[in-house]
């Protein structure tokens, strides 16, 4: 049995600093709950749906969504650090980013299953 962390929200650069704070919070929750698998609900933010389609077609290879506890912790850490860096770059450059994030309204939410 695996515990799954489901992450969602918006990725507007205006809230990148909050995303970094939220990632720190979620990292703590995921650690407490022992999450060993991670899914982001936005298809454009990763290869989750591609992985799921491949698994449906051929379930024999190892499941790339099962990262283990340490892998989920590292994944969230990288996500938070990326948003911290984007926030610093925007403050330094005076421009949002050289690689714009997709602007989508929404609120961050997390669930464990």
**Residue-level pLDDT at 4:** 92
pLDDT tens by residue, 3-30:
999 887 666 777 888 888 889 999 999 9
What φ, ψ does residue 98 adopt, rounded to 5°? -80, -20
Once rounded to an integer, what is the mean pLDDT over residues 31-44?
85
**Residue-level pLDDT at 106:** 40
- Tell me how long the chain is: 113
Beta-sheet strand order (sheet of 109-112): 37-40, 4-8, 109-112
pLDDT tens by residue, 63-106:
888 999 999 999 999 988 988 888 888 777 665 544 444 433 34
- Angle between helix axes 16-33 and 68-93 (nearest 10 degrees) is 170
Residue-range definition of the domain harbouring residue 98: 4-112
pTM, 2 dp: 0.73
In the chain, the number of structural domains is 1
């Amino acid at each position: 049995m695996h515990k799954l962390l489901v992450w969602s929200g918006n990725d507007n650069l205006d809230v990148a600093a909050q995303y970094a704070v939220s990632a720190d919070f979620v990292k703590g929750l995921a650690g407490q709950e022992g999450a060993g698998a991670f899914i982001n609900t936005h298809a454009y933010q990763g290869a989750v749906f591609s992985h799921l389609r491949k698994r449906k077609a051929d379930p024999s290879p190892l499941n790339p969504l099962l990262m283990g506890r340490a892998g989920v912790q590292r994944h969230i850490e990288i996500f938070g650090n990326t948003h911290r860096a984007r926030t610093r770059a925007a403050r330094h450059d005076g421009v949002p980013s050289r690689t714009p994030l997709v602007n989508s309204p929404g609120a961050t939410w997390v669930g464990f299953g």
